[in-house]
Amino acid sequence: MRKIILMASLVMGLLVTNRAEAQQEPRRQVMLDKVVAVVGGSSILHSELREYADALVMQRRQMGYTSDVDPMEEALEALLEQKLLYNQALIDSVDMAGGDVNARVEAYVQALMEEAGGMQEFERREHMPIFNYREMVRNRFEEQAYAQSMKSEVVSKVTIVPGEVERFYRHIDKDSLPMIGEQYVYAHITKFPASLKDAQQRTRERLLDMRERVITGQTQFSVLARMYSIDGSAMYGGEMEPAPASYFVRPFAEALEKLRPGQVSEIVETEFGFHIIELIEIIGDKYRCRHILLRPTFTRDELLQPAHQLDSIARLIRKDSLTFEDAALRFSDDASTKHNGGIVSNHDVLARMGVYDGARLTATRFLKEDFGAQGGKALEDYNALMNLKIGEVSDSYQTTDLMGNQMSKIVKLVDIIPSHVASLEDDYIRLEEMALTQKQERTYEAWLNDKKSSMYIYIDPEYRTERLREKGWIK
């Protein structure tokens, strides 16, 4: 799928990490800004274009590649597309995505201030007050978020059927088929501490105490959130970006809808843990609120108890006194795998992402990159599997589930599928992803070209190039 509009977010991140490197070069003479282009009701300033192009150069340098495309030209094309998407999102009343923009803005600005050596030095370097700079960054982040939402709105409507996947596979250049890396099939047995209910009760009692302190005026909700909440919103006093109730998981939303501004909820249990919520205000259909999130915690002895039990089970399996499949059925706390011999699938990841589509999308083969924060499977699983031969069972180890709940686990390496060229029989899901991506790209390109012809676009003559003309930006 095209990455050009997502590059804007990437570049903003690059600007944080590469700012120090940029400061080592002589600072350019401050000049009056110039409007380079206008798309709909949005303008592109020379400073914005220059900043984007500089970040692209740094990105290329870090990744060790060069491009024949002038970075200023590439940056202008990316910004033209972003502005078009942003303006169309406003026309179509598309909701802004991208999570907590306030949190992203604050993290970005704080990183720059730390790099500069404080607020005063930062303001001197940027030639503007911090609140002006923060507002400029907020506008850019919001624009990016709207643009991403608009593109998602276009491509999310694209679907694909098995016949299209087969045609894609038959007509694709076989040299273009991807190499599928080594894959692992494995089974697991999981155990939560037997004292889970006690730990949950301790968590509830902590939150009840916090709620009492807020209600009686002893402590502000935001102070307790900063001190104790394990959610990313803690650094902002527990405050989240205003959003409709439907944005939140159901138990959280139901509690929120019962509150009046200034009220604090009872304890709310969700898949993420236990919360108390303070409603700040209601803006239209959006709720502005704070929350404190806690999860059950365990003592070392409580964590070791299921680990010892699993080690005993592993010894029995190795002695052939018990099969792994029977052990999974009898002892595993994972209801989704215990009835199929403990075989691990991507069912939990798909369900968590809200894209579960029955058995058709279920996979039991995992690449190395499928393990870790981005892939969904625990990195500890991969580390354990690397020490096993096919058929062997690991010792117990500590890990967490997708919700961050602590547990113990043993795994069995069932099979290793060697690297191979993707085939329709063995790698249907990955080929389906490729075919869908190709169809989405074509749909998006057709949509984008249509919008280019209907939306007002002006580019300063100095910045008009043949490449932009060929791509339809110059009318």
Supply the pLDDT for residue 271.
84
Supply the pLDDT for residue 15.
44
Contact in structure between 418 and 395 (CB atoms under 8 Å) = no
Q: Give CA angle at 197 (196, 198), nearest 5°.
A: 90
- The closest of 384, 388, 380, 382 to 406, measured between CA atoms, is 380
Residue whose token pair is 């009492």: 212
DSSP H or E segment with residue 291: strand 286-294
Contacts of residues 419-424 at CB distance under 8 Å and 24 or more positions apart, as own/partner, are 419/179, 419/180, 419/181, 419/182, 420/179, 420/180, 421/174, 421/177, 421/178, 421/179, 421/180, 422/177, 422/178, 422/179, 422/180, 424/165, 424/166, 424/169
DSSP H or E segment with residue 176: none
Q: Give CA angle at 173 (172, 177), nearest 5°.
A: 80
Amino acid at 142: E
Residue whose token pair is 């930006």: 473
Contact in structure between 38 and 456 (CB atoms under 8 Å) = yes
Phi, psi for residue 252 in degrees, rounded to 5 = -65, -45
What is the rounded (10 degree) CA torsion for 451, 453, 458, 464? Answer: 110
Supply the pLDDT for residue 353.
54
Contacts of residues 224-231 at CB distance under 8 Å and 24 or more positions apart, as own/partner, are 224/292, 225/290, 225/291, 225/292, 228/292, 228/294, 229/291, 229/292, 229/293, 229/294, 230/273, 230/293, 230/294, 230/295, 230/404, 231/272, 231/291, 231/292, 231/293
- CA–CA gap between residue 141 and residue 146 (Å, rounded): 9
DSSP string, 336-374: TTGGGTTB--SHHHHHHHT--BTBTT----EEGGGBSTT
Amino acid at 228: Y
Contact in structure between 436 and 157 (CB atoms under 8 Å) = no
Contact in structure between 22 and 115 (CB atoms under 8 Å) = no
Count of beta carbons in the 10 Å neighbourhood of residue 387: 10
Q: Give CA angle at 262 (260, 264), nearest 5°.
A: 85
- Give, to the nearest 10 degrees, the angle between helix 221-228 and helix 196-215: 150
The answer for residues whose C-beta is within 8 angstroms of residue 377's C-beta and 6 or more apart is: 344, 349, 366, 370, 371
pLDDT tens string, the chain, 475 residues long: the values are: 333 333 344 444 444 434 444 443 434 444 458 999 999 999 999 999 998 999 889 888 888 877 788 899 999 999 999 999 999 999 999 887 655 677 778 778 888 888 888 888 988 888 889 888 888 888 888 898 899 999 999 999 899 999 999 999 999 888 888 899 999 999 999 999 988 888 899 999 999 999 999 999 999 999 999 999 999 889 889 998 888 888 888 999 999 999 999 999 999 999 889 999 999 999 988 899 999 999 988 888 888 999 999 999 999 999 999 999 999 999 999 998 999 999 999 876 666 555 545 555 678 899 998 898 655 688 999 999 999 999 999 999 999 887 778 899 999 999 999 999 999 888 888 899 899 999 999 999 999 999 999 999 999 999 999 989 989 999 7
Contact in structure between 399 and 381 (CB atoms under 8 Å) = yes
Phi, psi for residue 194 in degrees, rounded to 5 = -65, -20
- CA–CA gap between residue 231 and residue 142 (Å, rounded): 22
Supply the pLDDT for residue 27.
40
Supply the pLDDT for residue 360.
56
